[in-house]
Every structure is written in structure tokens, then in C-alpha cells.
């Protein structure tokens, strides 16, 4: 797979990610949707020229370690918008300051609270990062992404009713987990939970947990 310019490869990556999540939302069985997502993401990571996996490692890269699907970590959650307005600015080494504003909180039973952020640049988008008690051991130390609509990572939900599908089985590592060439907004303190979440993309094989 070749492109005339690196920017076109990134555009194709984004197009494929949007299509993958559209297929995920169309699948009525969450476990089947998870298997679809896992296969599609692995294909992109292993073969696409815009993959964050360094090019010289792709030939031997066997795909992302992902925990088995656990339905208790899927929620259809209301966004609690009764929150004090807040702003979070991430200092990026490549894109300058990336601003976010707080639009609500997700209250997830037996998990904890996660802030819901609105990206104030790049056309805007909903952003929900996540950092759990396994961070630095078997999940990425900087935290993972759950929802990032500006890049297509959207699991669904009735936005008119103020609800999001929040399925922690779909948590994935940001590009900076693969290579220092990438800089990524990492989960702020308000998006850290005290429970272990051995689901979604991991940094060690599930059998090692």
C-alpha cells in the first residue's frame, strides 16, 4: 500500500478508522463488534503505512494484546452536564497547545467517574481518555483512549438524550505508546480510576495478567 505523500496515508488511515467504528456501531452483538474492532485495528497497525508502529517493526509485529471481552464493562451512560466549567490545555511538542473544555462527567458503576472533554481545536470533538490502576504494569502508563470522535473513535449513544455508549473493552493505546515520534494528550487526573481494568488494549499479553 503506497501513497504519493505521507499526508494522504494519514487521511486514508482516518477514513478506515471511521469506517471501522461505523461497522462496530452497526453490529448488534457487543462481543462480535469487539472482535470486528480488534481484527480491523490489528490490520491497520500491522500493515498500514500510517501505523504508529515503527516501520522497521511491522514485519514482526503480531498485533495488539487485548483482553477478552467482558460485558460488565459496557455502559449506556448519561453525561452529567451539571458540572463546573473547566479547561485543560495539553502542551504538545508538535502542535502547540491543544485546548479542551469540560462538558460533563460519566458516572460508571463499580468503575468510577470519567470527565468528558470537548476538543476546542481541529473542528472539535468529544474526548474521553482513561487511566486505570494497572497503568504502568499491563496497561499503558500514560492512559488509554476510549472515545475520540474527531478521529472516528465513537462507540455510539443517543446524543440528543445526552448519552454515550461507554465500553471499556474498546480502550486503546494512543500512538505515543508505540513510538516517541508521536505526542498525545494523556489522561488528566480527573480521568483516572482506582480500579484495575484488564480489558481493551494492553501492554502485556492477557495471559500475563
pTM, 2 dp: 0.92
Give strand pairing partners of 15.
Answer: none
Identify which of 1-10, 68-77, 185-194 has the greatest average pLDDT. 68-77
Q: Tens digits of per-residue pLDDT, 71-111?
A: 999 999 999 999 998 998 877 666 678 889 999 999 999 99
Q: What is the pLDDT of residue 1?
A: 74
Q: Tens digits of per-residue pLDDT, 122-136?
A: 789 999 999 999 999
SS3 34: helix
Q: What share of the chain is helix, strand, coil (3-state, %, to 5)?
A: 30, 30, 40
Amino acid at each position: 500500500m503506497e501513497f504519493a505523500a505521507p499526508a494522504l496515508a494519514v487521511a486514508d488511515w482516518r477514513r478506515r478508522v471511521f469506517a471501522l467504528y461505523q461497522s462496530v456501531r452497526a453490529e448488534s452483538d457487543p462481543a462480535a463488534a469487539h472482535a470486528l474492532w480488534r481484527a480491523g485495528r490489528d490490520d491497520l497497525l500491522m500493515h498500514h503505512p500510517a501505523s504508529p508502529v515503527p516501520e522497521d517493526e511491522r514485519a514482526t509485529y503480531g498485533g495488539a494484546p487485548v483482553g477478552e471481552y467482558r460485558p460488565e464493562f459496557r455502559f449506556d451512560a448519561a453525561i452529567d452536564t451539571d458540572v463546573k466549567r473547566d479547561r485543560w490545555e495539553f502542551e504538545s511538542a508538535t502542535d502547540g497547545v491543544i485546548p479542551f473544555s469540560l462538558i460533563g462527567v460519566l458516572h460508571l458503576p463499580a468503575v468510577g467517574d470519567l470527565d468528558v472533554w470537548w476538543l476546542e481545536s481541529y473542528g472539535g470533538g468529544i474526548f474521553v481518555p482513561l487511566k486505570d490502576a494497572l497503568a504502568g504494569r499491563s496497561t499503558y502508563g500514560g492512559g488509554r483512549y476510549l472515545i475520540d470522535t474527531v478521529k472516528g473513535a465513537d462507540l455510539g449513544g443517543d446524543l440528543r438524550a445526552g448519552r454515550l455508549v461507554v465500553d471499556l473493552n474498546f480502550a486503546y493505546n494512543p500512538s505515543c505508546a508505540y513510538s516517541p515520534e508521536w505526542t498525545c494528550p494523556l489522561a488528566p487526573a480527573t480521568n483516572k480510576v482506582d480500579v484495575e481494568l484488564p480489558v481493551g488494549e494492553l501492554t502485556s499479553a492477557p495471559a500475563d495478567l
